[in-house]
């Protein structure tokens, strides 16, 4: 089950990320790293922030345990769907009406003229949020049925829509390209919703919404306690899962005070950093979460611990080797992916420096995501929220301290250091002794030898690249 769900998610995410890198390469070539690319990334930042909180954390990790416990699953599902969707549509309308305020909120380092340019794009991009909520809820139901492929592959549809938008608009001015790209985001969201609807129909899950709707008025009282428990847990889960996203949001705000292109450097470097994090950590934790929740609900701690043990070592090997490779080959990776068209050699060097700082945080964030599953499966969302607040607070302090001496690279480094703090507190909550029992294993020696061999191989590869390039 572990290997099957992991590979299903990994392959789907890999396909999506391949299209994502094609999108980013094309975007770097067409838009480059300038004020117009900064404006688009700012406009896409807010809905993307909420998307990551919903899709990769708070909602799914609260909904699945609540859904498993619910006695009236159809009523519960429809009630959550209706309440969230109505709220998000109304929220999107508010953002449209006050887009100037939200533009200033996200990037108050921009001057007035730039804020006016950014405001309409923020309004357009925000309508992606109601769409991705539908995708997330539908995906959670599919996960309950142990179907992961649709959600894993569906992000590719967003990237394909954005690629087509870039190809169609590449001969226009950069302002027009940013608008077409924003509408491409909405088109991608609609395609994601359609693909999940088809999967729900195939797995006979549409009836959950139909039954829930039919009995929503007559039997609302029967799910009152379930709803209260869900929303209470959800509020804590938002805090617990949103630390990296809020930190990234703050980085964007602070980077708007730096030289033009700084936001873009953060974006391109973070995209590379997110690949192994999504491909390994998110893919694995998404696959095992429903299983761990069921095992802990049935008091089968032994089997749940064994599943966590296997997952830890799989992640430890994958994330460690990825960290070394990404750090030591950061400049070569950035040049290969982005250095063409409007993206200069100087842009590559700065982005590579930022990437190196991000890679330091890959292992902490990946492992913190794994061990936090134990807390969420046991409905310890409040505890996870406190841990996240410690991490976020440290990130703010470190960002303010490092931005002056290190510039945009300091923002990336502060995020990685706060990830280490997140992992330390998460392990303490999980149980330090239980963690050491997992860590102090013969596999640790094998990992150390493997990493030493990788360092030697990477030094040799860098030497070859310098000789031939």
Instruction: Determine if the pTM surpasses 0.85.
Output: no
Q: What is the pLDDT of residues 92-144, one digit of tens each?
A: 999 889 888 887 777 666 767 777 888 888 889 889 989 988 998 999 899 88
Phi, psi of 399 (to 5 degrees): -60, -45
pLDDT tier at 52, thresholds 50, 70, 90: low
Provide the percentage of residues in the chain whose pLDDT is more than 90: 33
User: How far are the Cα atoms of 35, 129, 141, 314 from residue 406, in angstroms, in the given order?
Assistant: 21, 34, 45, 34
pLDDT beyond 90 at 363: yes
Domain ranges of the chain: 2-468
Q: What is the pLDDT of residues 30-47, one digit of tens each?
A: 776 667 777 787 777 766
Phi, psi of 348 (to 5 degrees): -65, -45
pLDDT number for residue 32: 67
CA-based torsion, 330, 333, 336, 337: positive or negative:
negative
Give 443 or 176, the one with higher predicted confidence: 443
Tokens standing for residue 391: 């991490």
What is the number of other CB atoms lying within 10 angstroms of the CB of residue 116?
Answer: 13
Q: Is 351 exposed, middle or buried (0-12, 13-18, 19+ CB in 10 A)?
A: buried
How far apart (Å, rounded) are the C-alpha atoms in residues 73 and 219? 12
How far apart (Å, rounded) are the C-alpha atoms in residues 441 and 436? 9
Tokens standing for residue 412: 């990336």
Tokens standing for residue 3: 């290997």
Q: What is the pLDDT of residues 390-429, one digit of tens each?
A: 999 999 999 999 998 898 899 999 999 999 999 999 999 9
Provide the percentage of residues in the chain whose pLDDT is more than 70: 91
CA-based torsion, 28, 266, 364, 422: positive or negative:
negative
Q: Which DSSP letter does residue 172 get?
A: S
How far apart (Å, rounded) are the C-alpha atoms in residues 421 and 145? 35
User: How far are the Cα atoms of 52, 171, 179, 397 from residue 43, in angstroms, in the given order?
Assistant: 15, 22, 10, 25
Asked if 284 and 314 count as a contact pair (C-beta separation under 8 A), the reply is: yes
- Please provide the DSSP assignment of 267-309 as one string: HHHHHHHHHHIIIIIIHHHHHHHHHHHHHHHTT-HHHHHHHHH
């Amino acid at each position: 089950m572990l290997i099957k769900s992991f590979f299903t998610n990994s392959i789907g995410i890999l396909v999506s990320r391949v299209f994502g890198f094609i999108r980013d390469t094309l975007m770097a070539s067409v838009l480059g790293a300038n004020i117009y690319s900064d404006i688009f990334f700012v406009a896409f930042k807010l809905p993307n922030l909420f998307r990551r909180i919903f899709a990769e954390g708070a909602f799914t990790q609260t909904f699945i345990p609540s859904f498993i416990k619910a006695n009236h699953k159809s009523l519960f599902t429809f009630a959550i769907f209706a309440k969230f969707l109505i709220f998000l549509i109304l929220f999107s309308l508010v953002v449209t009406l006050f887009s100037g305020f939200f533009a200033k909120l996200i990037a108050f380092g921009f001057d007035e003229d730039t804020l006016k340019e950014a405001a309409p794009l923020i309004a357009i991009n925000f309508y992606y949020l109601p769409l991705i909520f539908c995708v997330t809820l539908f995906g959670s139901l599919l996960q309950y049925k142990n179907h992961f492929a649709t959600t894993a592959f569906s992000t590719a549809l967003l990237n394909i829509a954005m690629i087509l938008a870039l190809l169609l608009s590449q001969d226009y001015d950069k302002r027009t390209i940013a608008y077409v790209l924003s509408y491409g985001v909405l088109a991608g969201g609609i395609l994601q919703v359609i693909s999940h609807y088809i999967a729900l129909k195939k797995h006979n899950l549409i009836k959950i919404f139909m039954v829930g709707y039919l009995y929503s008025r007559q039997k609302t009282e029967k799910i009152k306690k379930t709803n209260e428990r869900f929303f209470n847990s959800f509020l804590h889960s938002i805090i617990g899962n949103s630390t990296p996203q809020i930190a990234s949001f703050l980085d964007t705000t602070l980077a708007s005070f730096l030289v033009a292109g700084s936001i873009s450097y953060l974006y391109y470097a973070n995209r590379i950093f997110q690949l192994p994090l999504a491909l390994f950590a998110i893919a694995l934790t998404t696959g095992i979460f429903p299983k761990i929740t069921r095992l802990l609900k049935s008091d089968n701690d032994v089997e749940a611990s064994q599943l966590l043990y296997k997952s830890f070592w799989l992640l430890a090997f994958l994330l460690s080797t990825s960290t070394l490779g990404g750090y030591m080959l950061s400049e070569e990776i950035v040049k290969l992916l982005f250095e063409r068209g409007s993206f200069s050699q100087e842009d590559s060097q700065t982005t590579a420096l930022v990437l190196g700082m991000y890679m330091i945080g890959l292992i902490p964030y990946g492992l913190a995501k794994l061990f936090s599953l134990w807390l969420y499966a046991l409905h310890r969302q409040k505890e996870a929220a406190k841990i996240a607040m410690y991490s976020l607070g440290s990130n703010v302090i470190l960002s303010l301290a490092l931005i002056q001496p290190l510039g945009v690279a300091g923002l990336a480094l502060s995020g990685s250091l706060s990830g280490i703090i997140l992992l330390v507190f998460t392990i303490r909550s999980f149980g330090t002794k239980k963690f050491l029992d997992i860590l102090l294993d013969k596999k640790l020696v094998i990992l150390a030898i493997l990493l030493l061999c990788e360092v030697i191989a990477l030094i040799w590869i860098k030497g070859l690249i310098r000789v031939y390039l």
